[in-house]
Structure 1
Amino acid sequence: MMKSINPATGEQIATHAELDAAGIATKLDRASAAFDHWRTVDVADRAALLVRIADAYEANKDRLARMATLEMGKTLKSAVAEVDKCIAAFRYYAKAGPAMLDSNAIPLASGGSATVTWLPIGPVLAVMPWNFPYWQVVRFLAPALLVGNTGLLKHASNVQGCAALMEEMVLAAGGAEGLFQNLPIRSDAVAAIIADDRVAAVTLTGSEGAGKAVAEQAGRALKKVVLELGGSDPFIVMPSADLDKAAEQAVTARIQNSGQSCICAKRMIVHTAVYDAFLEKFSARMQAVKTGDPLDPVTGMGPLSSAEQRDTVLGQLAEAEKAGAKLLLGGEPLPGPGAYLSPGILTDVPLDSPFMEEEIFGPVAMLFRAADIDEAIRIANAIPFGLGSSVWTQDEGEKARFVRDIAAGMTAVNQMLASAPEAPFGGIKRSGHGRELGPYGVHEFMNLKTVYSGA
C-alpha cells in the first residue's frame, strides 16, 4: 500500500493499492494493443487529442494543482503554474509537432534517392519523480502520444494521487484505454517491465543512482533510454552584472519548489569585485522569504516533500560544516509540524570536499568567490554534474566564453534557467543523456527509417 502524506502537516491524506504481477501484465497488454491502433491514426487526429487533453487540464486546473500541493508541498501558486505549463506543452505539440514528423528526401550520388521518415516505436515506460509531478510526465507524454507511441507511468509513491489524475485526464479527453496508464508499483518492479518485450523504451528523471540502475536494465534489454538526472547548477555573477536583478533572481532560482528542482541554481559563483555586495543583497532577500502553509497565497516557500527529504538535507549541511564550510544563515528546521526548512547560505565550501560530489535538494545555496572568469569557469566545471547554468554579465566576450566553456547542457544568460516546451532540455556528464522537449524530444523515441527508391 502506498501512502500520500501531506508534508505541510505530516498527516496521511490517502492510500493507494499497488499493482500485483497480474495487474502489471494486464496493463502491458493494454499498452501494446493500444499502440497497434494508435500508430496507424493520422497525426492530425493525434494532435487533436492533445488539444482535448489540454482542455481537460484547463477544466480541472484547481483540482490538479491542489493535489500537487497536498501531496508534495509546493505552493498552490507554483502548482497552478505547473499545470499551466503542461497545458502549454500539449497545445505546443498539437500545433507545431506534426511538422516535426515530415519526411525528408536525400538525393544520392549513385542515382535515385533516400527518404528519411519518422515512425513510432511502441509503449514507452516513464520512471518519474515527485518534485514536478505533472510537468516531468508531460515532457515525455505529449510528444509520445503525438508520434503514435503509448505511455506507461511509474510515478513516485508519494504522488500517486497526481498520477491517477493524469490518467483520468487522458481518458476524459477521449483517449483510448491503454493509451496512457499509471502503474502504482515500487521500484523493484521496474526491471521486469523494462525487460518485457511489450515495452519499447524507457525514460527516467530522478537521482543518479536510479539512473544507473535503469540504464543498466535498459542496456541488458538493448532498449533506448533517456536520462535526466541530478544537477548542481552554477549561477555566475560578474562585475558588469545588474546586482539587484541577479540577487533577486538568485533567490527564486535557489528556493523555487523549496529548492527541489534539478535546475535550481545551487552554487553561486561570484567575482571577488562584487562578492560582498552580492552577498549582502542575496542574504537579505533569502531571509525575507516567507515560509509557511503552501495553500496560503502569500507563502513564498512551502515545506520540503517529506520529513525524510528535510533530514537528508540537514545531514548534508552537517557534512559540509564538518568539511570546513560555514552555514552563514538558515538551513534550520522550523518548529511545529511539517517538513519545513529555512532558506540557507553556505560559504567557504572546500572545492576538494567529497560534499562537492553531491546535490543539495533543498533551499540552501553555496557561495564561492572567483578571482576572474577563468576561476569562475573552473569552479563551475569542478563537479561531476552538467545539467544547467546561469551567467550574469554585460560583457559580450564573457558571454561567449561561458557558453563555450561551461560543461552543461544548458546555459541561461542574464536570467535564471527554466524549461520551455519549445526548447531541448537535458544535460551531460552525470546529469544524464538524451533530450526532452522541442523537436529533439519528439525524435528521441522514434524509428528514423531510411527508405531507398530507385531512379
Structure 2
Amino acid sequence: MTQELITISPIDGREVVRRAYASDAQIAQALANAQGAQAAWRAMGVEARGRIVSLAVDRFVAAKAEIARAITIQMGRPLRYTPGEVAGFEARARHMIAIAGEALSPIQAPAQAGFTRFISREPIGVALTIAPWNYPLLTAVNSIVPALMAGNTVILKHSDQTPLCAELIDRAFRDAGAPKGVFQYLHASHDIVQRLIRAPEIGYVSFTGSVRGGRIVEESAAGRFIGVGLELGGNDPAYVRADARIDHAVETLVDGAFFNSGQSCCGIQRIYVARSVYEEFLGRAVALTNGYVLGNPLHADTTLGPVVRAQAAVEIRGIIAEALAAGARNMIDPSHFKEASESSPYVAPALLTQVDHRMRVMNDECFGPVVGIMPVDGDDEAVALMNDSPYGLTAAAFTQDEEAALHIGRRVRTGTFFMNRCDYLDPSLAWTGVKNTGRGVSLSAVGYEQLTQAKSFHLRSV
C-alpha cells in the first residue's frame, strides 16, 4: 500500500507535490486534539468564534495570488479564473459567519404560564470534511466555516490532487491564532479516510465527490448513527424557451458548460431548446465555443485549461466517441484547438447535436467540456427530459416569463432551480440535491441544522 501522495500537474505532467500520508500516531493525535479542543471552543460563544474565523479568512484572502497559482498548478484551471475561487471562498465564509448568531439562536416555544421552553442548537463535536479537487476552496468552505461557527472542531481531508489547499487553509487558521485542535488537516489515503469515518471521535462527515465515493462514505458510517452530508455531482439540464433572450442564454450556458473545463458538479451538460429558436441558439453557441483558447492555464490568454489528468481525458473522449457512434454530431472541429491531442489532458470542447437519452452524455455525469443540445416542442417535453436523469443538483430555464419559470421549476426534480442563470451557488440559499446527487444541505441558515444537534429544554416553575 502506498505511503505517500504524489500530485501530478495536468499542465505538463510534472510532479508538483509529494507528501507522506498521516501515520497512525498522527491520526490518533489529530482526533485527540480535535476532541480535546472542542469543549473550550464551544464555550467561547459564537461571537468570539466568529472573530477568530473572520481573522483566518482575512489571513487566507491576503494570500490570494499564492493560492490562485497553487490551484492552477495542481488541477489546471486557467490562472485568469482561480483568484475568483479565493473571492468565492471569502464571500461564502463571510455570509455564514454573519448569519451564525441568528441561525444558531434557540428556538422559543410559545409562551406557557409556569414554563420556560426552548430548543437549543448544540454542536455535534468533531466534523470531518472530505473535499474534492475541482473547486478545492469552494467545496471545503461550505462545511468548514459553518461547522466551526456552530462550535464544532474540524478535520479536513483534501484530495490528493490539491493537498496544498488544505495546507494553506491550515496556515491561515494558525496565523489567526486559532486554538490548537480547532482546525486540522490530514493527508490520507482512501483506507485512512474510512478509518477516520469509523473513529468514535468523529460526529459528522461532509463529503463532496463521486456517487461511488458517497456509497463508501455511507458504508463506512453505517451503524454509527452520525450525520453524513453527501454532494455527489450532477448531469444538470437547462431549457431555453422560445421567449428567452437568446444572446444571454447562449453566453450563460456555454460558460456554464465549459467553465473549469466542464469539471463542475453543477455545470450544464444537457440543453433543451425550443424548436423555433434552436438553429439561432446553435449557431451562436458554435461561434462562441470556437472562440475559446485551449492551452497552458498559466498563460494570460488561455480560457480553457486541461482536465485534471490524462486518464480523465480518455474517459471524456470515450463518452464523445460513444455518442458519435450512436448518431450524434459534434458541431466543434477538435482540430481547431491545436493543443488538444489524444494522449494529453488537453480536451477540445464538444457541442453535440442529434443526441438522445440513450447516450451516456445525456443520462450520466461527464466531467469534461462536453454538452448535448436537443430541440423540444414545449414546456412539457422539456420538463420530462430534464427529469429523465439519475441526478438532481441544479436545473435552469431561460425565459422572460417568471410565472412560467416558477411553474417549470416546481415540476423539475432538482436541488436548485434557476431562471436566466446557471452554474452558480448562492450562500443565502440551501445547497442540496436529490436522487443520486446525494443528501443533506450545506450553506444558508438551513445548513447549520446538519452541523448541530437539537436539544430541548423544558423548565417548570413550582
Normalising by structure 1, report the TM-score. Answer: 0.96
Match of 1:290 among 278, 290, 293: 293
Alpha-carbon shift at residue 75 of structure 1 (Å): 1.4
Corresponding residue number in structure 1 for 2:100: 97
Pairwise CA distance, 1:297: 2.6
What residue number does 1:61 align with? Answer: 64
Which residues in structure 2 correspond to 1:35-74 (within 5 Å)?
35-74=38-77
Match of 2:401 among 386, 395, 401: 395
**What letter corresponds to residue 161 of structure 1 in structure 2?**
L
Match runs of 1:15-26 below 5 Å? 15-26=18-29
Q: Is the 8 A contact 2:363 2:388 kept in 1?
A: no
What is the deviation of 1:354? 5.3
1:448 correspondence with 2:451:
no
Judged with a 3 Å threshold, the aligned counterparts in structure 2 of structure 1 residues 78 and 337 are, in CA distance, closer, same or farther, namely farther
SS of the residue 1:76 aligns to: coil
Deviation at 1:102, TM superposition (A): 1.1
Aligned to 2:436: 430
Residue 275 of structure 1, CA deviation: 0.8
Whole-angstrom CA distance in 1 between matches of 2:275 and 2:214 = 37
Choose from 373, 379, 387 the match for 1:373.
379
Aligned to 2:245: 242
RMSD of aligned alpha carbons? 1.8
Match of 2:7 in 1: 4
SS at match of 1:394: coil
For 1:424, the aligned partner's letter is A
Kindly provide the amino acid, as one letter, of the partner of residue 393 in structure 1.
Answer: T
Distance in structure 1 (CA, Å) of the matches to 2:378 and 2:17: 53
In structure 2, the CA distance between the partners of 1:37 and 1:113, relative to structure 1 (3 Å rule), is: closer
8 Å CA contact 2:270–2:362 kept in 1: the answer is no
Alignment partners' CA distance in 2, 1:84 and 1:73: 18
**Amino acid of the residue matched to residue 447 of structure 1?**
Q
Distance 1:439 1:77 in 2: 32
Mean CA deviation greater in 178-187 or 275-284: 178-187
1:410 aligns to 2:416 (yes or no): yes
Residues 60 and 168, structure 2, Cα contact 8 Å, conserved in 1: no
| Alpha-carbon shift at residue 326 of structure 1 (Å) | 2.5
Assess, with a 3 A threshold, how the Cα gap between structure 1 residues 145 and 430 changes in structure 2: closer, same or farther. same
Deviation of the 1:30 alpha carbon: 1.1
After alignment, is 424-433 or 83-92 more displaced? 83-92
Q: Is the 8 A contact 1:47 1:93 kept in 2?
A: no
User: Over residues 154-193 of structure 1, what are the superposed CA-to-partner deviations in whole Å (9 max), with x where a residue is unaligned?
Assistant: 2111111122111111111111222111111111222221
1:188 aligns with 2:194: no
Looking at structure 1, the residues matched to 30 and 334 of structure 2 have their Cα atoms a distance apart, in angstroms, of 44
How is 1:172-187 mapped onto 2 (pairs within 5 angstroms)? Answer: 172-187=175-190
2:356 to 350, 359, 364: 350
CA drift of 1:395 comes to 2.3
| SS, match of residue 274 in structure 1 | helix
Q: Residue type matched to 1:243 in 2?
A: I
Distance 1:424 1:77 in 2: 29
Question: Could you tell me how far 1:111 is from its partner in structure 2?
Answer: 6.5
- Give, in whole Å, the separation in 1 of the partners of 2:347 and 2:275: 29
**Deviations, residues 301-330 of structure 1 (Å, cap 9, x unaligned):** 111111121112112212223333222325
Give 1:109 shift: 7.0
Q: Compare 113-122 and 255-264 and name the one that shifted more.
A: 113-122
Aligned partners of 1:207, 1:330: CA distance in 2, in Å?
A: 30
Partner Cα separation in structure 2 for residue 154 and residue 345 of structure 1: 35
Which segment is superposed worse, 197-206 or 96-105?
Answer: 96-105
> Residue in 2 aligned with 1:259?
262
Q: Is the 8 A contact 1:435 1:444 kept in 2?
A: yes
Tell me by how many angstroms 1:273 deviates: 0.9
1:420 aligns with 2:426: yes
Q: Secondary structure at the match of 2:431?
A: coil
SS of match in other structure, 2:222 = helix
Distance in 2, matches of 1:220 and 1:369, equals 47
Change beyond 3 A, Cα 1:354–1:300? closer
State the AA in 1 paired with 2:405: K
1:298 to partner: Cα distance: 2.3
- Report the alpha carbon displacement of residue 80 of structure 1 after superposing the two structures with TM: 0.4
Q: For residue 369 of structure 2, what is the aligned residue in structure 1?
A: 363
Matched residue type, 2:72: T
The TM-score with structure 2 as length reference comes to 0.95
Deviations 1:220-277 (A, max 9, x none): 3221101111101111101000001100111110111111000101101111111111
- Structure 1 stretches of 5 or more lacking a match? none
* Distance of aligned partners of 1:30 and 1:269 in 2 relative to their CA distance in 1, 3 Å threshold: same
Is the 1:260–1:304 Cα contact (8 Å) retained in structure 2? yes
* CA distance in 2: counterparts of 1:446 and 1:276, whole angstroms: 51
* Other-structure match for 1:217: 220
Counterpart Cα distance in 1 of 2:315 and 2:438: 22
The offset of 1:57, in angstroms, is 1.4
Q: How many residues align?
A: 455
Distance 1:406 1:253 in 2: 19
**1:126, 1:140 within 8 Å by CA — same for their partners in 2?**
yes
For residues 356 and 279 of structure 1, the distance between their equivalents in structure 2, rounded to whole angstroms, comes to 17
Distance 1:110 1:196 in 2: 45
Q: Does 2:144 correspond to 1:138?
A: no
Instruction: List per-residue Cα deviations over 1:173-220 (Å, max 9, x = no partner).
Output: 111222111111111222221111111010110011111111222233
- Uncovered stretches (5+) of structure 2, i.e. residues with no partner: none
What's the CA shift for 1:337? 8.5
Deviation at 1:107, TM superposition (A): 2.4
CA contact (8 A) 1:331 1:345 kept: no
Q: Which SS does the other structure have where 1:152 is aligned?
A: strand
Deviations 1:380-422 (A, max 9, x none): 0001100001110112342122111111010110122301222
Q: Secondary structure at the match of 1:102?
A: coil
1:79-98 equivalences under 5 Å are 79-98=82-101
Q: Conserved in 2, the CA contact under 8 Å of 1:253 and 1:264? A: yes
Matching residue of 2:31: 28
